[in-house]
Structure 1
Amino acid sequence: MSTAIEFPTLFSSLDLGSITLENRIFSSGHDTVMAHDGQVTDQLVAYHRARAEGGAGLIVMQVAGIHETARYTSHVLMITDDSCIPGYRRLAEAVHKHDCKLISQIFHPGREIMESQDGALPVALAPSAVPNERFHVMPRALSIELIEEIVAGYASGAARLKWAGLDGVEITASHGYLPAQFLNPHTNVRDDRYGGSLENRMRMLRETAAAVRAAVGPDFVVGVRISADERTFDGTDSSEIVQLCRTLDTDGHIDYLNVTEGTSASQSGSTHIVAPMAYAAAYTAPSAAVIKQAVSVPVLVAGRINQPHEAETVLAGGQADACAMTRALICDPDMPVKAQTQRVDEIRACIACNQACIGHFHLGYPISCIQRPETGRELQFGKPTPAAHSKKIMVVGGGPAGMKAAAVAAQRGHRVTLYEAAGRVGGQVLLAERLPHRGEFGGAATNLIAEIARSGVEVKTRTCVDIDLVRREAPDEIVVATGAVPYRPELELDDALPVFDAWDVVTTGAGDLPRGRIVIADWRCDWTGLGVAEMIARSGGRKVTLCVNGNAAGEMLQQYTRNAMLAAVFEANVEIITNVRLYGADEDTVYLQNTLTAQPVLVDDVAGLVLALGHRQNDSLLRELQTLGTPVHAIGDCMSPRTVEEATLDGLRVASGI
């Protein structure tokens, strides 16, 4: 395989302690929710095998708990006894077959406990009894004896992973987890040898690194992941982080530093664990550069590096030695080999929506991708299987569901024509990309458009499909993906008050809205209400009141995306009223009802009302076609209005079975 001229640094080798990486693209540690009873599963092996096969130089696995008190979720991998070794060995063998190296994070969360194991809250441990703001956990201060036991757990866990055939371990001292809690003077108020001075606060991590090195010897990689800036009101000073890195480097026990930003401990800090599209590409690279100048070991960096050219810029500029492209690999595991063989245009670019990757993790489901539902489902949909017989397939509707179905069906050998009534394909994605800070969402359409073109799908736009057209075309099977339209329930409305659908506002902008107070009635509590609220508030001359039918605006969104959008509407001075349903409106008043008490809620001096009340399926054609006798498959919103994730998954499932 020849090295692509466009990315000479990215596809150069890198020595990392006792190993050499084939390239500088790596997948950073991220929970997959693919473990079972603390053990590696076939699903997890298949997931990482796909990324190794796609050309990643290094995979850093998700956290592995090193002590019984490290169970921060109900699905965390554990390395506290030898039963873990066979599973890790299978995984290492699968990854190594593709010249990819494998490292595992070793981990204790301290007070950052996300969930219970059985419904009863555990006793969380930390350097001191200082509460967590995000999960509302009050921990118990660690005794000296338990600190020593945990340090020994890091060492014994690392030794097991070496025995299993991995290439190294990464001590997770980032994102406010236990080692970071010792370092932070706000969370560590001890008065013994582990607290007080910076030297004392560094002691736990230094002892851990030394113990791990002693347990694994010189021919096994030991790294440390660290947050250069915790991005929170009570984080460790960044200058002390740099001093820590210098000290770890001087101690001589570690082979690299993996730099990121953020902390699990607060809402603002946690957003940077998996930053949404509101943040610039590679925005953490300057922090990594500061640390790189202070140490001699290689410095890796993570933080919204989604495209090969972004990674090449970071590396060529000397800001870091390797780039985590984790979500890029979730979205397209073949991204490295495509970049290296000069097929950059074929890369399916991550849009940082966070919905099915970190979003699934927070819901307790195996991670996936809204653009590539095959991710996490490699055992079922790893490779398209050729169709037994080539059929003429008619796909009606050019949104994400229709495009995904068309692409997969064509890849399997069917003759596919996609029909779209509008002038361009894309569906609701074309609306989402118009909202503030959501421009990258349009990539979901761009990537699918490229995919159907490469697959040989014939696309006919500005074509309204009816039953007569279907009879003339005589397809063997029909896939109906006609989407949805805005839903408007029966409301008591006075024609004197202008009323608008959110879709129309997104399409035309806020310019047609009257000046004054605009009320948005938001039933779904997703990106539509929040995005339209910010768009209108920033248009000038309008005060926005967002009335949501839930406990919080954006409550259906992944929390980091929601946090970023909420911050934006707060900054735009949007007023939010929660737990209300729209009842009606007259000349200048909007009438709502509290969903908990049924009491009336009135908003006065209103100039206009915007409805974001969800959608209803557009299924009239489906019902007609079901009378023809030709096999008909309904997918996406025409079955039930949901999100892009379900649309593409429907398309994949149906097209894989034709």
Structure 2
Amino acid sequence: MSHLFPHLFEPITLGPRTIRNRIVSSGHDTVLDEHGQIGPDLVAYHEARAAGGCGLIVLQVSGVHETARYTNHVLMATDDSAVPGYRAVAGAVHRHGATIFAQLFHPGREVMDGERGMAPRAVAPSDAPQERFKVVPEALSTAEVEDIIAGYATSAARIASSGIDGVEIVASHGYLPIQFFNPRINTRTDRYGGSPENRRRFLAEVVTAVRAAVGPGIVVGLRISGEEKTEDGLVATEILDLIGHLDDLEALDYYSVTAGDSSTLQGAVHIVPSMQIDPGYATNLSAQVKKVTDRPVMVAGRINQPHEAESAIAEGRTDMAVMTRAMICDPEIAAKSQRDAVDEIRACIGCNQACIGHFQQGVPISCIQHPETGRELTFLPRPRVRRAHRVLVIGGGPGGLKAAAVAAEQGNDVVLCERGPHLGGAVLLAQTLPYRSEFGGAATNLSAEAARAGVEIRTSTPVTQDIVDAIAADHVIVATGAAERMPELEIADDALVLGARTYLADEPRLPAGRILVTDWKGDWIGLGIAIRLAEAGHPVTLATAANFAGAAIQQYTRTLLVSQAMRAGVEFLGDARLVGVDEDTGYLQSTLCEIVHEVENVAATIVSGAPRAVRPDLDFGAAGVTVIGDALAPRTVEEAVYEGLLAATELADRDRAEAASA
């Protein structure tokens, strides 16, 4: 039992099941399915979290009706071909002492994908349009509503027959059950619309039908947004009233509380809240739910650290803590917390880049800090080398740190040299941007992993030929990153023009007046600098060669950043590249046509341009050489860390090949 987190590791009973601790991996789409069914990759993904000590794992949504296909890769529980997959994942999770539930799902009008790229078709209580995906749904007939309710029951029974311990009805984030309850969406006049009782009827009948289908031996829970936090969304008082009526049915064993709504950008940011939102912010909603029910309550919303979960439970704001992204980042966070090894935890930084960001691209989820996530069958368990090789890693940014840590964990003798006094590379600049401070955790986490693995770390050590010769490495991994590159500009008079990296590193005092920030990519850098300057009182114009500010940033994160920039008064100009600056004017060429934009009364210009790869000019002799990250081609932290993992793994592969040929 943990001394630091006694409440977090106290068992809890949900209906007929006792869960070993209060840590939950909630339902989240992984894009690890195999044609809508559970295959080996998804089994391995969840088994890693069960082995890491998680108490309860909730599978991603399972469609209960043919009209429930909200993406092209949703799991479907509509026929018996799904049963072997559920049985396999249940067995894998149970082997490690964890409990597993599955989600029952229908999106209603919240449909993302159409067939083969066509516009999506959706069904809903009424034909109220959906803003975010631009969907106008087809209103369901009464007979179709009844057919979907029956689908919930038969899907639940099918899942229960496979050895899954419980089912969770998804009524959160504006999905079908809650669409029926919302009077701003449901304009029906039959028995499923109109009065509050009629608008509750769909969800009440689903709950009752599911309980009857699975019997008393299976847990039945409900996921619901405690507040939808969007225009025309449901507020807390409406949700609490609904929960009170559902409680009277005596069919539910627990409530899983979250926040937000999928139908608007404003509400969707709460589906996977990024680092701009305070940790544990949704526990005020679960605390309200606990006042109207005696059933256990769990809550999701930026609970990334065990102390956040412990305090929420100890203070009575929730009974269980959803720590999904925390376990995407570190599948062993539960086991580490239980033995009070908090310094070993790889903390989620809320960047959203490879988890929900990958899902929204339609590719399997991962983590920029832990690319083994989603690739468990490729990279885990970590192989050990037969013979230790001498490995030199040049560069202490994220890619170099990952390569060094993994190579050392495999049993190699690793030396890492960093020319600067601190490890972290470009992450050290990124963390200085507004609402980006948590990003520095990537450097902290990776540095600690390298140190624990036994890497010999030398900071303030530019690698010279003498150092290369002295180390005499068998293999060299070059992770020297990228340098600032200024575009070719016509600069007249005494115009003040600075590169973004120079500005962030030196923090020079800028003259009073309008600052023109130009951005070639549409990422955090230009947008972050613009927000910083605007919040400091400067008039700011942000011009980007992308279609719009933040175009390269994950949607939920971008929504919050752009709204903050708007509140700060930043003016935006899209599809424009900087071509010249004079004493008080910036000249920008449209990327679409011949038009030239002029931004007047400019006191200074800050340029966030395309970086340039940096590689050392050294003779490595007979050593093998691998170039990774920005030194190979400037991109993001995700690619650098992945390539560090890949480079180290290839060392082990080479060792196995040598052993086989010996």
Tell me which interval the TM-score lies in, with the shorter structure as reference length: over 0.9
AA in 2 matched with 1:641: P
- Of 17, 24, 29, 1:19 maps to 17
Q: What is aligned with 2:483?
A: 485
- Could you list the per-position Cα deviations for residues 531-587 of structure 1 after superposition, in whole angstroms to 9, with x for gaps in the alignment? 0101111122x2110001111111111101111111110111000000111111111
Q: SS at 1:229's partner residue? A: coil
Which amino acid in the other structure matches residue 646 of structure 1? E
Aligned pair 1:548/2:544, yes or no? yes
Deviations 1:122-147 (A, max 9, x none): 42111111000100000011110000
SS of residue paired to 1:191 = coil
Q: Is the 8 A contact 2:474 2:622 kept in 1?
A: no
The whole-number CA distance in structure 1 between the counterparts of 2:302 and 2:610 is 31
1:467 Cα offset (Å): 2.5
Matched, 1:267 2:265: yes
Alignment of 1:341-356 (within 5 A): 341-356=339-354
The 2-side partners of 1:504 and 1:197 are apart by 62
Matching of residue 561 in structure 1 with residue 557 in structure 2: yes
Asked whether the 8 Å contact 1:45–1:90 carries over to 2, the reply is yes
Give the CA deviation at 1:473: 1.9
**Aligned ranges 1:322-361 → 2 under 5 Å:** 322-361=320-359
Specify the SS of the correspondent of 1:154.
Answer: helix
- Determine the C-alpha separation between the residues in 2 that align with 1:229 and 1:258: 13
- For residues 290-319 of structure 1, the C-alpha deviation after alignment (integer angstroms, 9 at most, x for no partner) is 011101111110000001110000001111
Judge which range, 487-496 or 346-355, deviates more. Answer: 487-496
Counting only pairs closer than 5 Å after superposition, residues 599-610 of structure 1 correspond to structure 2 as 599-610=595-606
Q: Is the 8 A contact 2:50 2:57 kept in 1?
A: yes
Whether the 8 Å contact between 1:35 and 1:76 is mirrored in structure 2 is yes
Say whether residues 1:110 and 2:108 are aligned partners. yes
Where do 1:449-460 residues align within 5 Å? Answer: 449-460=447-458
Q: 2:244 & 2:290 partners in 1: Cα distance? A: 10
Q: Distance in 2 between matches of 1:47 and 1:21?
A: 20
| 1:144 lines up with 2:146 in the alignment | no
Contact 2:142/2:190 (<8 A) preserved: no
Task: Name the residue aligned to 2:647.
Answer: 654
2:85 and 2:24 map into 1 onto residues whose CA distance is: 22
Residue 395 of structure 1 corresponds to 393
Alignment check: 8 A CA contact 1:185 1:236 kept = no
Tell me the equivalent position of 1:279.
277
Equivalences for residues 226-245 of structure 1 within 5 A:
226-245=224-243
Residues 1:520 and 2:517 are matched in the alignment: yes
Q: Distance in 1 between matches of 2:519 and 2:226?
A: 38
| TM-score (normalised: structure 1) | 0.98
Distance 2:619 2:67 in 1: 58
Counterpart-to-counterpart distance in 2, 1:83 and 1:595: 51
Q: Distance in 2 between matches of 1:123 and 1:577?
A: 34
Hey, what does 1:537 align to over in structure 2?
534
Q: How many correspondences in the alignment?
A: 651
| Amino acid in the other structure paired with 1:352 | G
- Cα distance between partner residues in 2 of 1:503 and 1:326: 34
Q: Secondary structure at the match of 1:224?
A: strand
Match of 2:571 in 1: 575
In 1, the alpha carbon distance for the partners of 2:493 and 2:48 equals 57
Where structure 1 has 5 or more consecutive residues not aligned to the other structure, the ranges are none
| Residues in 2 aligned to 1:103 and 1:642: alpha-carbon distance in whole angstroms | 38
Report matched runs for 1:299-378 at 5 Å.
299-378=297-376
Whether the aligned pair in 2 keeps the contact of 1:505 and 1:532 (CA below 8 Å) is no
Q: How does 1:199-210 map to 2 (within 5 A)?
A: 199-210=197-208
What stretches of structure 2 of length at least 5 have no aligned partner?
A: 652-662
Report what 1:161 is aligned to: 159
TM-score by length of 2: 0.97
Q: Which residue of 2 aligns with 1:500?
A: 498
CA distance in 2, matches of 1:625, 1:553: 43
Match of 1:613 among 594, 609, 626: 609
Alignment of 1:630 with 2:623, yes or no, is yes
Query: Among 81, 84, 90, which residue is 2:82 paired with?
Result: 84
- 191-200 or 474-483: which moved more? 191-200
The answer to whether the 8 Å contact 1:25/1:323 transfers is yes
| 2:605 counterpart SS class | strand
* 8 Å CA contact 1:198, 1:240 repeated in 2: no
Counterpart CA distance in 2 for 1:195 and 1:336 is: 44
How far is the alpha carbon of 1:344 from its aligned partner? Answer: 1.0
- Secondary structure, in 3 states, of the residue corresponding to 2:626? strand
Aligned mates of 2:567, 2:632 — CA distance in 1: 38
Aligned-partner SS, 2:448: helix
Q: Give the secondary structure class of the aligned counterpart of 1:123.
A: coil
Q: Percent of counterpart pairs with the same letter?
A: 52
Task: Provide the alpha-carbon RMSD of the alignment.
Answer: 1.0
